[in-house]
Structure 1
Amino acid sequence: MNRSWMNLPRVSVDYRNGVETFLDFAFANASQEDRILCPCKKCGNINWHIREVVQEHLIVCGFVRGYIKWIFHGEITPRRASSTSNSTDPLNSHHRSHREDDMEGILRDVFNMHDYHQSVREDCDIGVNDSFEMGRSGCHEEPNGEATKFYNLLDEMNEQLYEGSKYSKLSFCIRLFHLKCLGGWTGNSFTQLLEFLGEMFPFAKIPQSSKDMKKVIKDLGLGYEKIHCCPNDCMLYWGNRKNQESCHVCGKSRWMNRDVENVSEEDVEARSRKKPVKIL
């Protein structure tokens, strides 16, 4: 199906006719209670709306960047067509048409998009008629910080690891980073693995180092903070107790090396040699 109209000005007749084509397809294949996921730049395939609202959003703000394959609206890739051909439930077909790792679901959870109902009219301060009369290209305001992160990750979600792969660059990074955490791999060993994979599969979009990997998935909130704790799990060295040297419950030392237990706060070098007995 020719989708070149998606790049045309939103005030053009061809674009509006294309929107009608999309709406006919989406409501025939992926509607629930006369609503579909709205693929406009503001809703980002998160919010469910009736046809008239989706039509207005697409004319005012346009489609979300890179949404050429309508996977959220019933379009099934050839490799998965056979597994969904017997389904009569459009919602199940919609979800099965996604990649197996459900990156869309992850992004929804990370950005708390399930209850995101901000109005496009309020954000853009512009209506459909205004757009046509003034010849504007639609909503001219840039997305906020969280929306920008969401769109960037959406791009990563839609970018194949290599041509023909069923996995995206984002899903590859998340799965491999998960293995790193489960196996307790060091940053250096993880970088060595990535370098090896990059040499073996130069055609794949594999990050070159542990640092590069973290850059790809940093907006998913997968970071962590280390907190020292009592070896007997009595307490955390946290809040107003973060500078204590021993547990106030059982009296166990916070440190493995007692020789440097009582060094001053100014002695940075000595403190750097102090190793906590246990870390959360």
Structure 2
Amino acid sequence: MDRSWMSRTNRFITQYQEGIRAFLNLAKQNTDSSDDYTQWTHHGESFQPNSDQQHDFNDNNHISEEVQQEHGAMFEMLDDIQKSAFIGINIESSSTNTEIDEPEGEVEKFRKLLNDAQRELYPGCKYSNSSFLMKMIHNKTITNSSVKYFDLNLKLFKDTLPKDETLPESYYQVKKLLRDLGMGYINIEACMNDCILYWKQYEHFDQCPNCQASRWKFGLGKHRKIARKIVKYFPLKPRLQRLFMSKDVAEDMRWHKEKRINDYVIRHPADATAWQEFDKENDWFALDSRSV
């Protein structure tokens, strides 16, 4: 199908009108698209759970506003993820069918996240699987508790739930949920005295070239090498992308360029001399309102 008409800005020319008619005729002749594709998430529409997928929290008086916010926040997070997962999707049209070319693995991952966000911990529970695990991870972080303590608590919760519960077995498995939600990190081994990272040119070193400290401690039987120190690297690029996936947060990220008033008072880093000097030296970068 000729799609050149789509790039025409003048909607009244013959080519554009004929293109619209051809598209409508194609849509009438081909009705074999996926029956479950009712929300056009691949075409810019935000994900909204339907009545069969999500309980109507607003109509249940026994469910508190806090619980509604808990589930709402989870679905907002999933909406951001599906927008990023399906960037660049190609819609292939032919005379026989319309097929969505989905990124390999991303669809199944998103469906699993969605199912966990909708599955109650037990019938009538205010938490879903995902929201409960996120709350547990949050509590672990603010109390600085150990992985062992987290695993013991998780095992206790699993023992108290009905037999068909589907919580993960350990903190290690819970971390997979964090990675799928875009909160992963990279482990990099380091010198115990903070001299170097065993990365790039030092990747295969067994001891620090500066202080000569060994990279390893040995496990049981001295057969297994274990790094003495590991630092966690949180890549910046995907986190910046994550900020701009949310419409509301993206607007805040552009505030310094689009809405900030220059009244010679430092209320934002963009008011500072260092930021302004950087903008002068890199004017091509400063022109983009998304630059931070």
Relative to its length, the structure with more strand (as a share) is 2
Structure with more contact order per residue of length (Cα contacts < 8 Å, sep ≥ 6): 1
**Normalization by structure 2: what TM-score?**
0.48
- What TM-score do the two structures reach when normalised by structure 1? 0.50
